[in-house]
Amino acid sequence: MSEPIAAGEARRLGQEERGDTLGARNTRFDPGDTVLVRVRRSEPAARSEFRVPYRKWMRVLDALNWIAENEAPDLGYRWFCGSKMCGTCAVRMNGREVLACWEAVEAEMTIEPLRNLPVVRDLVVDRGPFEDKVFSLEPWLERPALYPGFPEPLSHKDMKYASKALDCIGCMCCYSACPVIALGDLTDFAGPAPLVQLGQTALDPRNDPAKVARSLKRTGIFHCVSCYRCEEVCPAAIPIVTQVIEPLKAKTAALVPEMAKHSLALRAVVAARGRVDPTALVLRVRGLAVLRDWLRALRLLLRGKIDPLKTLFPRRTSAAAAAQRLLEGGRRR
């Protein structure tokens, strides 16, 4: 390629040549081809490499079934519906979470169990920790008022976000892909899958706000780094970050504002200055405790990374005037 490429295409570089599209993934084999499958087994001595004859439209699950039927009857894996409904067959294929029943095979595949959950055997993980977490979030409706009778005054707009969350099949792909969950107990972040389960009822306007607040307090939701790894692997195509976690964050900011200190501080800084002054933001969020880190502040100062004068005496810029008008005005309206 030597000429400039068309507007809007650069952001997709790699998709065509690396066969990233679903179409490409399903047409890369010929009859008679062999699929090389490596499975991470629990027993180190167990056979882990298999050559599976390719069949048209072969899925990861078909390959696993062939292995279990022909060469490794002791292979541990789990599936039930085979049609993207039950959410039990999720595995990692070449480092990416997929539903075995809905993913085309690749010529060479390394199949591993999901991350961030204990392994029972081979590809089977223990869903217990996830289920405990979901249960602790009390993902059910509690009505603050009496049932108003049928039909309930509830519109599609009221249920916009909850209905997205209701598409969840509980496969745990997102839970495995989440980099914050991978850090273990470092934070109290509940993780994407439990938050989606919570969103099904916490984003339902009929729920009791006091009960929702109680649930949200246990989510550690502001530890979500917004990396979209969960959305990338969700087989139900739920916009987990934008249509579940962000609406839940908005609810948290309204019902449990002390949890949303960072978000509220950013809003205040932008409303006052038009732009983020990182020092002003961090001071607002962490208070004078940041001064304990004076050595680091000095290093940043020496490199010109921070400017205390600018932080202490912000200039009246046109950006500040605009943000003040649009954000403060928006709050009044």
Residue 169 Cβ vs other proteins, minimum distance, rounded to whole Å: 17
Is-contact 177 246, C-beta < 8 A? no
Residue 277 Cβ vs other proteins, minimum distance, rounded to whole Å: 6
Q: Is 11 in the site for other proteins (CB under 8 A)?
A: yes
The piece of 51-59, 126-134, 196-204, 216-224 that touches other proteins (CB under 8 A) is: 216-224
Q: Is 299 in the site for other proteins (CB under 8 A)?
A: yes
- 53 versus 329: smaller Cβ distance to other proteins: 329
What is the pattern of x (binds other proteins, CB under 8 A) and - over residues 140-179? ---------------------------------------x
Q: Is 59 in the site for other proteins (CB under 8 A)?
A: no
Please spell the DSSP secondary structure of 90-114, one letter per residue. EEEETTEEEEGGG-B--SEEEEEPP
Distance between CA atoms of 316 and 115, rounded to whole angstroms?
A: 50
Please select the residue that binds other proteins; options are 163, 263, 297, 314, rule is CB under 8 A.
Answer: 263
Farthest CA pair distance, the chain = 74
- 97 versus 122: smaller Cβ distance to other proteins: 97
Please select the residue that binds other proteins; options are 75, 90, 216, 224, rule is CB under 8 A.
Answer: 224
Q: What is the 3-state secondary structure (H, E, C) of 172-203?
A: CHHHHHCCCHHHHHHCCCCCHHHHHHHHHHHC
68-107 positions binding other proteins, by CB under 8 A: 95-96
Long-range contacts of residues 75-83, Cβ cutoff 8 Å, at least 24 apart: 75/39, 75/41, 75/122, 75/123, 76/42, 76/120, 76/121, 76/122, 76/123, 76/124, 77/122, 77/123, 77/124, 78/123, 78/124
Q: Is 253 in the site for other proteins (CB under 8 A)?
A: yes
- 81 versus 225: smaller Cβ distance to other proteins: 225
Q: How many other CB atoms are found less than 10 A from the CB of residue 139?
A: 19
- 83 versus 318: smaller Cβ distance to other proteins: 318
Q: Is 297 in the site for other proteins (CB under 8 A)?
A: no
